[in-house]
């Protein structure tokens, strides 16, 4: 006896015949994914597109030409490099949107250029301990990366 627990279907299946039913349900799920991207004509014809992409699980909503200030340093990227952003969860226009997590990379093209890698202004924080009058000043000057969205289109 084989026991399987499939999260996508939410079923607990037992036995050899259930393996076939699980494989059929998985193929049905795969076919619905390809049907999701069938009619992209309204998005292709729109000239005002927006996208929501994630970097380090932080979502950023952007359009073409936007500047994005990332609150960390991209170590691998240098100034002037072109980044191909692939973790896109939503692409939309005024009337239509495509939502998936993540969207298939062959559907869209989202590119950004690294403008600068700098540090933020000093932030001074007062640190105290309980029952102690002494105040210590902790200084923080965090890294940041500025990118500009250079291309956003639906293929």
Give Cβ neighbours of residue 59 (< 8 Å, ≥ 6 apart): 52, 53, 89
For 20, which DSSP code?
H
- Is beta strand 108-119 parallel, antiparallel or unpaired with respect to 143-154? antiparallel
Please name the helix (run of DSSP H) or strand (run of DSSP E) that holds residue 4, with its range, or none. strand 3-6
Give Cβ neighbours of residue 146 (< 8 Å, ≥ 6 apart): 67, 68, 69, 70, 114, 115, 116, 117, 118
Quote the CA–CA distance of 57 and 34 in Å, as a whole number. Answer: 25
**How is the chain split into domains, by residue range?**
34-152
**What local confidence, expressed as pLDDT, does residue 36 receive?**
64
Lookup: tokens for 78: 């240098």
**What local confidence, expressed as pLDDT, does residue 34 receive?**
55
User: Which CA distances in Å does 79 have to 34, 112, 134?
Assistant: 37, 11, 43
For 120, which DSSP code?
P
Q: Comparing C-alpha atoms, which of 51, 61, 33, 43 is closest to residue 155? A: 43
Q: Comparing C-alpha atoms, which of 91, 102, 113 is closest to residue 40? A: 91
What is the full per-residue pLDDT of the chain (155 aa) written as tens digits? 333 333 334 333 344 444 444 444 444 444 444 566 778 999 999 999 999 999 999 999 999 999 999 999 999 999 999 999 999 999 999 999 999 988 999 999 999 999 999 999 999 999 999 999 999 999 999 999 999 999 999 98
Give yes or no for a contact between 68 and 114, defined as CB atoms under 8 angstroms apart.
Answer: no
The CB density around residue 115, as the number of other CB atoms within 10 Å, is: 15
């Amino acid at each position: 006896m084989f026991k399987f627990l499939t999260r996508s279907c939410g079923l607990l299946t037992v036995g050899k015949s259930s393996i076939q039913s699980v494989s059929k349900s998985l193929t049905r799920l795969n076919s619905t994914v390809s049907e999701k991207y069938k009619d992209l004509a309204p998005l292709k014809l729109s000239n005002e597109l927006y996208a929501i992409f994630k970097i380090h699980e932080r979502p950023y909503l952007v359009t073409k030409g936007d500047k994005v200030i990332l609150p960390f340093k991209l170590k691998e990227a240098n100034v002037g490099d072109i980044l191909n952003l692939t973790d896109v969860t939503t692409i939309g226009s005024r009337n239509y949107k495509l939502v998936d997590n993540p969207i298939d990379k062959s559907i869209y093209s989202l590119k950004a250029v690294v403008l600068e890698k700098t540090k933020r202004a000093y932030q001074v924080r007062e640190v105290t301990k309980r029952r102690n009058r002494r105040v210590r000043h902790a200084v923080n000057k965090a890294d940041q990366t500025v990118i500009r969205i250079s291309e956003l289109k639906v293929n």
